[in-house]
């Protein structure tokens, strides 16, 4: 027997929407659902009317989501977010939902409009945090794979990534650049790729303990261009969205050995012709290389490395970024 709806006439129109709709009373008990809600969840309206809406919870939605939801609804405000719930079959479904409190006479109702994210034409839904995390891990694996011959490379790359994040955030604050969060993430994530071109350099040259010959030096100086070529080849084979903003990554790979005074390589760019992201990674890469032991050199004390950065302001490095690095390092007693 079909359960009679107790939804006020003023709310009946919501049940005709093409998205899944659920209407609850002020106790959050289900008053009615529409046909699309039945199709999506597998629950028939006759079986769930009268139940509290929380019975759909999967335990996978972060607690902070419910905290935000309750806070806004108590204020009488609508709320939007993402839920991870269970269908009747037990399958997980992700939904973008907007819940709106509506007063009719002396009664309070909540109208929830769901859109199943798995059904979006673009494909599988990933939250922004999960997408960023996946991108970061993908680039880490790619970078380590390209430089796997160096047993200490993972530690170096992760230090470069951490220092890059510290520096770009500090410089953004100090100079009031108002860089977007997305752009900052691109710089931080792509910094780990800066030397992937070294995968194409013969080991005999790359790890030579003595001085390089002019010919060997020329080969070494080709690795930024080789790295850009590797990135472009890889980008054609995988989902472009997984390495978003290839331009930032390519700029870091290609230009992180350019110098402020134009004596760097491969294109001898000067000053602000060098992309900002490359100027940032240049300082970090050199600093970490100086304080790290290599087959051809011993590690420098941190103080000596910082003195070198200071000496090279306006020569090797962007003087403003170098000043930010030195100030941040000093004021935060940064440990590496």
Report pLDDT digits (tens) over 232-248. 877 665 554 545 568 89
Q: For the CA atoms of the chain, what is the radius of gyration?
A: 28
Q: Is the pLDDT of residue 253 over 80?
A: yes
pLDDT(3) > 90 = no
> Three-state SS for 292?
coil
Cis peptide before 266 (omega within 30 of 0): yes
pLDDT at position 101 over 80: yes
pLDDT confidence band for 335 (50 / 70 / 90): very low
Task: Look at residue 33 in the predicted model and tell me its pLDDT.
Answer: 92
Tell the CATH topology of 9-119. Answer: Beta-Lactamase (3.30.450)
Closest CA to 152 of 307, 33, 293: 293
Distance, in Å, from the CA atom of 52 to the CA atom of 34, rounded to the nearest integer, reads: 16
> Annotated catalytic sites, by residue?
198
Write 188-191 long-range contacts (CB < 8 A, 24+). Answer: 188/161, 188/164, 189/132, 189/135, 189/136, 189/139, 189/161, 190/139, 190/245, 190/248, 190/249, 190/252, 190/253, 190/277, 191/160, 191/161, 191/164, 191/252, 191/277, 191/280, 191/281, 191/284
Mean pLDDT over 281-297 rounds to 87
Question: 7-20, pLDDT tens digit by residue?
Answer: 888 888 889 888 89
Interval 108-162: pLDDT, tens: 999 999 887 766 555 555 555 555 555 555 555 555 555 545 556 667 888 899 9
Q: Where exactly are the structural domains of the chain?
A: 9-119, 128-332
Cβ-in-10-Å burial (0-12, 13-18, 19+) of 200 comes to middle
DSSP state of 53: G
pLDDT for the residue 305? 95
Same fold, 9-119 and 128-332: no
What residues contact 252, with CB distance under 8 A and at least 6 apart? 187, 190, 191, 193, 194, 275, 277, 278, 281
CB distance 32 to 49 below 8 Å: yes
Domain 128-332, CATH class in plain words = mainly alpha
- In this prediction, residues 68-78 reach a mean pLDDT of 89
pLDDT at 35 over 80: yes
- Greatest mean pLDDT among 31-45, 103-117, 300-314 lies in 300-314
What is the distance between the alpha carbons of residues 314 and 322, in angstroms, rounded to a whole number? 9
Task: Please give the C-alpha separations between residue 170 and each of 2, 279, 302, 328, in angstroms, as whole numbers.
Answer: 63, 14, 19, 7
140 vs 58 pLDDT, higher one: 58
pLDDT category at 1 given cuts 50, 70, 90 is very low
């Amino acid at each position: 027997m079909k359960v009679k709806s107790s939804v006020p006439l003023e709310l009946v129109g919501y049940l005709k929407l093409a998205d899944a709709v659920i209407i609850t009373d002020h106790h959050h008990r289900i008053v009615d659902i529409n046909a699309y809600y039945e199709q999506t969840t597998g629950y028939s309206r006759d079986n769930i009317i009268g139940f509290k809406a929380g019975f759909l919870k999967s335990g996978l939605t972060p607690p902070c989501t419910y905290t935000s939801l309750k806070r806004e609804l108590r204020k009488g405000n609508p709320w939007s977010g993402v839920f991870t719930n269970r269908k009747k079959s037990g399958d997980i479904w992700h939904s973008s939902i907007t819940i709106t409190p509506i007063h009719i006479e002396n009664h309070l109702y909540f109208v929830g409009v769901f859109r199943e994210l798995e059904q979006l034409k673009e494909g599988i839904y990933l939250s922004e945090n999960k997408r960023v995390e996946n991108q970061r891990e993908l680039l880490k694996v790619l970078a380590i794979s390209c430089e796997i011959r160096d047993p200490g490379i993972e530690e170096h790359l992760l230090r470069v990534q951490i220092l890059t994040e510290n520096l770009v955030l500090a410089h953004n604050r100090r100079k009031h650049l108002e860089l977007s969060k997305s752009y900052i993430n691109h710089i931080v994530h792509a910094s780990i790729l800066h030397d992937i071109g070294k995968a194409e350099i013969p080991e005999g040259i790359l790890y030579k303990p003595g001085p390089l010959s002019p010919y060997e030096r020329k080969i070494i100086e080709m690795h930024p261009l080789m790295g850009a070529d590797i990135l472009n080849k890889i980008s054609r084979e995988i989902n472009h969205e997984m390495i978003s903003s290839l331009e930032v990554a390519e700029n870091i790979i290609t230009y992180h050995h350019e110098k402020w005074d134009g004596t760097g390589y491969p294109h001898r760019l000067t000053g602000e012709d060098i992309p900002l992201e490359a100027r940032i990674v240049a300082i970090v890469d050199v600093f970490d290389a100086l304080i790290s032991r290599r087959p051809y050199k011993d590690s420098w004390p941190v103080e000596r490395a910082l003195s070198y950065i200071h000496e090279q302001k306006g020569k090797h490095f962007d003087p403003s970024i170098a000043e930010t690095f030195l100030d941040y390092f000093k004021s935060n007693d940064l440990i590496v």
